[in-house]
Amino acid sequence: MDNLTKPLAGKKVIILGGSAGIGLATAKLAAAEGANVVIVSSNQQRINNALTGLPQGSLGFAVDLSQEENIKTFFENIGKFDHLVYTAGENLRLDIIARTEIADAQKFFNVRFWAAFTAVKYGAPNINDGGSICLISGTAAERPGAGWSVATSICSAMEGFVRAMAVELAPLRVNCVMPGVIKTNLWDSMSETDRAALYKAAEDTLLLKRVGLAEDVALAFVYLMKQKHSTGQNVIVDGGGLLV
């Protein structure tokens, strides 16, 4: 397996938010490409469960990503690596601004944006030449709806951050994946009825006529790790949702 046909073979990939959903799907796909995978999340039991589906030798660490010191310590101890993927985030709760508590809105930024910002700060110095950072956003910045004020703000902030880091950290590559509606635990805070309605609306309107899966988004993360001539890019994986 050479670097051209298997560019992730033997590479160390750290995935923050890697114990479930898109992060775990990315870990599995990267491992299948020969990468040595390290998953991180706040829940040890989810990590243990995730490791049963990953190759022997994969590692998992429980880290509270809401605390800067925890992220700093993790990267101080992990050593050199090749790719950083950040997919962590609390379940989304959507509501109109009149019913949004400012303190709650600020909390959503802690893990979805500020923890990613912190991971880049402390993780970037450890990334080997030719490595990359891949963050996660969403299509809400491009197509907001009523009740999406917090989610749209986070997505917009992340996409600007990616472009800024691509310039500041060059030649380290910094990119982002923007999923549309994807079937993951992201929507678990919604009622089963509301969640089913969300998926049905997506199926009826998307050009590809199906809701995306975590594996669809994982393909984009792995592509960005392997693509050596792209940086500052926000790659959309939404089934054509922004076109309708």
Q: What is the CATH number of the domain that holds 226?
A: 3.40.50.720
pLDDT number for residue 38: 98
User: Residue 25 — very low, low, confident or very high, per pLDDT cuts 50/70/90?
Assistant: very high
Q: What does the pLDDT average to over 154-169?
A: 97
The reply to whether 168 falls in a domain is yes
How far apart are alpha carbons 205 and 244 in whole angstroms? Answer: 7
Q: What does the pLDDT average to over 15-20?
A: 96
- The single-letter DSSP state of residue 199 is H
User: Residue 199 — very low, low, confident or very high, per pLDDT cuts 50/70/90?
Assistant: confident
Q: pLDDT digit string (tens) for 91-132?
A: 777 889 999 999 999 998 999 999 999 999 999 999 999 999
Q: What does the pLDDT average to over 23-32?
A: 98
The reply to whether 1 falls in a domain is no
The closest of 159, 219, 232 to 26, measured between CA atoms, is 219
pLDDT at 195 over 90: no
The reply to whether 4 falls in a domain is no
The reply to whether 100 falls in a domain is yes
Report the percent of the chain where pLDDT is more than 90: 78
The reply to whether 3 falls in a domain is no
DSSP string, 111-146: IIIIHHHHHHHHHGGGEEEEEEEEEE--GGGTS--T
The reply to whether 219 falls in a domain is yes
Which residue among the candidates 132, 137, 149, 230 is catalytic per the annotation?
A: 137
Angle, alpha carbons 211-113-207 (nearest 5°)? 20
Is 153 labeled as catalytic in the residue annotation?
no
Q: Considering its fold, how many domains does the chain have in total?
A: 1
Domain with 100, as residue range(s), is 12-237
The closest of 41, 38, 40, 35 to 1, measured between CA atoms, is 35
The reply to whether 242 falls in a domain is no
Q: What does the pLDDT average to over 163-181?
A: 97
Other CB atoms within 10 Å distance of the CB of residue 150: 22
The alpha carbon dihedral of 234, 237, 240, 241 has a sign of: negative
- The single-letter DSSP state of residue 176 is E
The reply to whether 6 falls in a domain is no
